[in-house]
């Protein structure tokens, strides 16, 4: 069900909105309704699993011994 809403806005702003509405081929009421729908919509909550799955996957050779490589790189870097 639609309801009426009266707004008071600056004339210059209203002129700009009319031009915008004409360019978009929409009524001012449609623009206001879309805006209100957008700002009152609850944000989609992303789960931690979705976030983790969206991270880039590392390119690691499965044949490499990561522990050995870690210690070798640290020995080179720090001189152990």
- Asked if residue 35 belongs to a domain, the reply is yes
16: helix, coil or strand? helix
Distances (CA, A) of 75 to 7, 32, 60, 63, 79: 71, 64, 21, 21, 5
Query: Which pTM does this prediction carry?
Result: 0.53
What residues contact residue 74 under an 8 Å CB cut-off, 6+ apart? 80
Please check whether residue 24 is in contact with residue 31, taking contact to mean a CB–CB distance below 8 angstroms: yes
- Asked if residue 69 belongs to a domain, the reply is no
What average pLDDT does this structure show over 35-46? 87
What average pLDDT does this structure show over 20-27? 96
Indicate whether 58 pLDDT > 90.
Answer: no
Give the structural domain span for 16: 8-42
Percent of the chain clearing pLDDT 90 (strictly above):
64
- As for how many domains the chain has, the answer is 1
């Amino acid at each position: 069900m639609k309801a009426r809403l009266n707004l008071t806005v600056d004339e210059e702003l209203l002129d700009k909105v009319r031009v915008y509405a004409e360019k978009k081929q929409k009524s001012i009421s449609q623009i206001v309704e879309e805006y209100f729908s957008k700002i009152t919509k609850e944000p989609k909550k992303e789960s931690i699993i979705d976030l983790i799955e969206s991270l880039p996957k590392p390119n690691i050779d499965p044949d490499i011994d990561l522990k050995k490589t870690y210690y070798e790189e640290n020995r080179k870097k720090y001189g152990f």
